[in-house]
């Protein structure tokens, strides 16, 4: 009987030690605000925009989240203004969302990257300020209008998304 109990205890320790390898955690290798996304890559990294900029993008690259979903949650003054979910279909998966920021909604914005179970994986902050009448913002949009970037969601100028599996490591 002692032999059986000892064997079961060893088996239980082996099962506990092996469980982390079974459910390997994914990582977010990049997450950032950007003024545009070209060829599925952010063109820059920004932390503020001025009110003359029509829209801003948030880009995330997921590693080893295949078969799950995640979302970008856009928060202004503590209130969720927009949330977009993505199905992650590859071991390396790049996604972005776009938000047009009304000139009246100045202040601090936050994007939360949220897992399918509701866990906030990362947060990133953006300052939306009054346009400077002088030299302009260091984070102005390439397009100027903020509404001419491509979208595969068909949801209009307020938001858009794109995803792909990417190539290579």
* pLDDT tens, per residue, the chain with 169 residues: 555 444 444 333 333 333 222 235 899 999 999 999 999 999 999 999 999 988 999 999 999 999 999 999 999 999 999 999 999 999 999 999 999 999 999 999 999 999 999 999 999 999 999 987 654 444 433 333 233 233 333 222 344 454 444 433 3
Joined together, the tokens standing for residue 40 give: 């599925």
The answer for residues whose C-beta is within 8 angstroms of residue 98's C-beta and 6 or more apart is 55, 56, 57, 58, 149, 151, 159, 160, 161
On the CB side of 87, CA atoms within 13 Å amount to: 2
pLDDT at position 15, please? 34
The answer for residues whose C-beta is within 8 angstroms of residue 30's C-beta and 6 or more apart is 42, 59, 60, 61
Is the separation of the CB atoms in 29 and 142 below 8 Å?
A: no
pLDDT at position 131, please? 82
pLDDT at position 132, please? 75
Strand partners, 156: none
pLDDT at position 5, please? 47
Strand partners, 124: 111
- How far CA 86 is from CA of 8, 18, 112, in Å, comes to 43, 30, 13
Domain 26-164 has CATH 2.60.40.10: yes
Eight-class DSSP state of 53: -
Strand arrangement, sheet containing 27-34: 27-34, 55-63, 92-100, 159-164
**Could you tell me the pTM of the whole model?**
0.69
Taking every pair of C-alpha atoms in the chain, what is the biggest distance, in angstroms?
Answer: 85
Is the separation of the CB atoms in 91 and 40 below 8 Å?
A: no
């Amino acid at each position: 009987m002692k032999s059986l109990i000892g064997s079961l205890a060893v088996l239980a320790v082996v099962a506990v030690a092996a469980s982390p390898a079974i459910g390997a955690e994914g990582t977010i290798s990049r997450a950032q605000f950007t003024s545009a996304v070209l060829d599925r890559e952010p063109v820059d990294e920004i932390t503020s925009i001025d009110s003359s900029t029509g829209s801003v993008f948030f880009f995330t690259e997921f590693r080893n989240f295949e078969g799950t979903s995640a979302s970008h949650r856009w928060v202004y003054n503590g209130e969720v203004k927009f949330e977009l979910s993505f199905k992650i279909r590859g071991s390396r998966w790049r996604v972005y969302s776009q938000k047009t920021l009304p000139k009246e909604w100045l202040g601090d914005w936050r994007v939360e990257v949220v897992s399918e179970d509701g866990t906030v994986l990362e947060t990133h902050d953006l300052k939306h300020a009054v346009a400077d009448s002088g030299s302009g913002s260091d984070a102005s949009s390439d397009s100027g209008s903020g509404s001419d970037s491509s979208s595969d969601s068909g949801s209009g100028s307020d938001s858009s998304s794109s995803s792909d599996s990417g190539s290579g490591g």
